[in-house]
């Protein structure tokens, strides 16, 4: 076993951003609200948007929702959007939907995506397309999104489209002169971050699923940890406490207290 894990009596690192807690996710208010939005959107079909500051868990909520649909009668496809051209954006959606990404025009690719969604619908496996980091969708393609879902408002929606991203996604919708997103969105949610009490529960939860005990961290750190984590950013909490574990280990301290926490923050700021 890793010397550091052995020192703290842990099975894995509790504050790694990549920790596999998919079987026991921390049920924060944000996560519960986001999952409710996703489920409602799938039930009604249409477009929903979930966004928030980077590090508050938006992408994690999309991952959890995708996992929850594993045994459902839906075809669930997930795509992480990078900074690409409109042409490459549609090519990547085609690949995600197992459509041959040959040299087609933009309109031909849109039509192919619509036809594939119709096929899933007719097979009784309606498409749920999750676009993560949707703030990166190129402008031309961004304004096309409603027609992917429903080309004709007299027809029922052909798919569920879930847009996840940073606050920039929200700003793009507000500032859009091409699309009235208030009309297009079925529902939306904006992450608020963990509350002070949730920070305590979150830290305890991560320690528990890593095989540790609550006494790894002292109660005295939580007020300061909340402030240091920009009022409840999950990634901030993880990064600070990972550093604190290292500081404690190097100084042969089995408990993370205020002194260790402050030393960790000072080290991170160097």
Kindly state whether residue 23 falls inside one of the protein's structural domains.
no
Among candidate residues 156, 190, 224, the one where a domain is terminated = 190
Which pLDDT does position 73 carry in this prediction? 95
User: What would the mean pLDDT of 181-192 be, rounded to a whole number?
Assistant: 94
- pLDDT score of 20 more than 70: no
Among candidate residues 190, 218, 241, the one where a domain is terminated = 190
Domain that holds residue 48: 29-190
Are 49 and 108 part of one and the same domain?
A: yes
Which pLDDT does position 181 carry in this prediction? 92
Kindly state whether residue 227 falls inside one of the protein's structural domains.
yes
Are 224 and 164 part of one and the same domain?
A: no
Kindly state whether residue 12 falls inside one of the protein's structural domains.
yes
Kindly state whether residue 24 falls inside one of the protein's structural domains.
no
Are 84 and 161 part of one and the same domain?
A: yes
Are 184 and 256 part of one and the same domain?
A: no
- pLDDT score of 178 more than 90: no
CATH of residue 226:
1.10.8
Which pLDDT does position 21 carry in this prediction? 60
Overall number of domains in the chain: 2
Q: Which residues make beta-bridge pairs with 78?
A: 130
Are 170 and 55 part of one and the same domain?
A: yes
Q: What is the pLDDT of residues 40-54, one digit of tens each?
A: 999 999 999 999 998
User: What would the mean pLDDT of 174-184 be, rounded to a whole number?
Assistant: 88
Are 178 and 202 part of one and the same domain?
A: no
| Signed CA dihedral, 106, 107, 108, 110: sign only | positive
Are 45 and 117 part of one and the same domain?
A: yes
Give the alpha-carbon dihedral of 73, 75, 80, 83, to 10 degrees: -140
Are 179 and 46 part of one and the same domain?
A: yes
Residue 217 half-sphere exposure toward CB, CA atoms < 13 A: 26
Percent share of the chain, pLDDT over 90:
74
Are 59 and 146 part of one and the same domain?
A: yes
CATH of residue 110:
3.40.50.300
Are 121 and 186 part of one and the same domain?
A: yes
Are 180 and 211 part of one and the same domain?
A: no
- pLDDT score of 83 more than 90: no
Which pLDDT does position 102 carry in this prediction? 67
45 φ/ψ sector (left φ>0, alpha ψ -120 to 50, else beta): left
Kindly state whether residue 160 falls inside one of the protein's structural domains.
yes
Q: What is the pLDDT of residues 97-155, one digit of tens each?
A: 999 866 678 888 888 999 999 999 999 999 999 999 999 999 989 988 998 888 665 55
Confidence band, pLDDT 50/70/90 cuts, at residue 208: very high
- pLDDT score of 59 more than 60: yes
Can you tell me the distance from the alpha carbon of 187 to that of 183, in angstroms, rounded to the nearest whole number? 10
Q: Which residues make beta-bridge pairs with 187?
A: 48
Among candidate residues 138, 171, 190, the one where a domain is terminated = 190
Within 8 A by CB and 6+ apart from 94, the residues are 100, 101, 109, 112, 113
Which pLDDT does position 266 carry in this prediction? 93
- pLDDT score of 55 more than 90: no
Confidence band, pLDDT 50/70/90 cuts, at residue 25: confident
User: What would the mean pLDDT of 55-60 be, rounded to a whole number?
Assistant: 91
Are 77 and 209 part of one and the same domain?
A: no
User: What would the mean pLDDT of 72-83 be, rounded to a whole number?
Assistant: 94
Residue 247 half-sphere exposure toward CB, CA atoms < 13 A: 20
Which pLDDT does position 176 carry in this prediction? 86
Closest CA to 264 of 217, 219, 231: 217
Confidence band, pLDDT 50/70/90 cuts, at residue 157: confident
């Amino acid at each position: 076993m890793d010397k550091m894990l052995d020192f703290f009596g842990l099975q894995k690192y509790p504050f790694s951003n990549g920790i596999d807690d998919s079987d026991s996710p921390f049920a924060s208010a944000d996560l519960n609200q986001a999952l409710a939005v996703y489920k409602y959107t799938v039930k009604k079909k249409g477009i929903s948007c979930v966004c928030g500051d980077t590090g508050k868990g938006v992408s994690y909520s999309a991952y959890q929702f995708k996992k929850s649909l594993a045994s459902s009668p839906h075809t669930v496809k997930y795509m992480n959007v990078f900074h690409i051209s409109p042409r490459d954006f549609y090519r990547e959606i085609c690949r995600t939907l197992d459509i041959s990404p040959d040299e087609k025009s933009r309109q031909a690719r849109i039509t192919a995506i619509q036809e594939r969604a119709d096929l899933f619908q007719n097979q009784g496996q309606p498409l749920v397309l999750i676009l993560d980091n949707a703030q990166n969708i190129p402008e031309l393609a961004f304004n096309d999104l409603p027609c992917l879902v429903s080309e004709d408002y007299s027809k029922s929606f052909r798919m569920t489209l879930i847009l996840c991203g940073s606050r920039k996604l929200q700003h793009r919708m507000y500032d859009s002169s091409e699309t009235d997103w208030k009309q297009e969105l079925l529902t939306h949610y904006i992450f608020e971050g963990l509350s002070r009490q949730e920070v305590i529960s979150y830290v305890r939860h991560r320690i528990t699923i890593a095989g540790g005990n609550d006494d790894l961290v002292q109660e005295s750190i939580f007020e300061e940890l909340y402030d240091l984590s920009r009022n409840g950013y999950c990634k901030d909490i993880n990064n600070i406490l990972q550093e604190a574990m290292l500081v404690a280990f190097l100084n042969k301290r089995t408990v993370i207290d205020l002194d260790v926490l402050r030393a960790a923050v000072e080290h991170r700021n160097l």
